[in-house]
Amino acid sequence: MEFIDTIKEKAREDKKTIVLPETEDRRTLEAADQILKEDLANIILIGSKDEIEKGSTGLDLSKAEFVDPETYEKTQSYIDKVVELRSKKGMTPEKAKETILNDYTYYGVMMVKMGDADGLVSGACHSTANTLRPCLQILKTKPGTKLVSAFFLMDVPDCEYGEDGLFVFSDCGLNQNPNSEELAAIAGASADSFRLLTGKDPKVAMLSYSTMGSAKHADVDKVAEATKLAKESYPDLTLDGELQLDAAIVPEVGKSKAPKSKVAGNANVLIFPNLDAGNIGYKLVQRLGNAEAYGPLTQGIAAPVNDLSRGCSAQDIVGVVAITAVQAQNQ
């Protein structure tokens, strides 16, 4: 059974309610149709029902809940809550009303905040910043979370590496140039995400262009220090670095370059040294390796809210909604 089929099975076991705010995008509506057909989640579509139905010709959205911010009975309570949460930042009732009536992602986040939905998926036609800003402002971070970060769950076909082709790549969507402490936090969170979504034990590689001191540079030092901090913070985690990519995932290369490492040659969680490397890396694997790339998925926010690549397909959205539902089951 493929990874995403396993996730879908889990989603069906305890159905959650997921908000899709980008109803102006046909991909969102196609995804909603498929999610409802497969019974993966309860779906809330934000916007005018008439406008949504105009854009959904040929689709069956009859089982979705339509929420029009202009007429929904809870809109005023959402406005009041935004003012309460953001008053110290200068939020007024007038500004709060304007914000949530004109920004459906913000409105969807308020539905999650108020317990009217379990999670949200957005980003097909909005930037990561515009998707995650209201989440960080309203939902805040999980207790004990050091850093919010973003990862991709990569499912590579016919691949002998990782967990039969399954990997977590992180951070590929949020933190531009994390320092050593931040990289260590990303490693710990990514290991938890891998375990939650795959049910397998994470083996975390802290990636670099150097393996165990083979090169000298401040960038290498950053990853080496992050490895040290991560081992101190997560002593039970199978983690090592710094490792080059081939040393991390190819057993023969791992044995040659890092013979004493338990991770080298076996890694299934790859921590990239910066956002450039992570973003380029996942797109290379996705396009050249025909991999399914689910994400960017967030970790560290107080409720499951996940971003989408603006190049996503409707099928990608279906997968991310199923993953978001499984994350919501474990909140």
63-84 pLDDT, tens digit each:
999 999 999 999 999 999 998 8
Beta carbons within 8 Å of 225's beta carbon, 6+ residues apart: 180
Q: What is the pLDDT of residue 190?
A: 96
Please count the residues of the chain: 331
Task: Assign residue 66 a region (left: φ > 0; alpha: ψ between -120 and 50; beta: otherwise).
Answer: beta
CATH fold of 3-140+301-329 = Rossmann fold (3.40.50)
- Contact call for residues 118 and 18 (beta carbons, < 8 A): yes
For residue 51, pLDDT over 70 is answered with: yes
Q: Amino acid identity of 236?
A: D
* Paired tokens of 1: 């059974």
Q: What is the pLDDT of residue 1?
A: 57
- For residue 307, name the pLDDT band (cuts at 50, 70, 90): confident
Q: What is the pLDDT of residue 75?
A: 93
Concatenated DSSP letters of 20-46: E--TTSHHHHHHHHHHHHHT--EEEEE
- Does this model's pTM top 0.85? yes
Q: What is the pLDDT of residue 250?
A: 96
- Contact call for residues 169 and 281 (beta carbons, < 8 A): yes
What is the CB neighbour count within 10 angstroms for residue 276? 11
* Paired tokens of 26: 């046909």
CATH fold of 149-288 = Rossmann fold (3.40.50)
For residue 127, pLDDT over 80 is answered with: no
Average pLDDT over residues 244-259: 95
- For residue 207, name the pLDDT band (cuts at 50, 70, 90): very high
Average pLDDT over residues 151-161: 94
Same fold, 3-140+301-329 and 149-288: yes
Q: Where are the domains of the chain?
A: 3-140+301-329, 149-288
- Contact call for residues 247 and 253 (beta carbons, < 8 A): yes
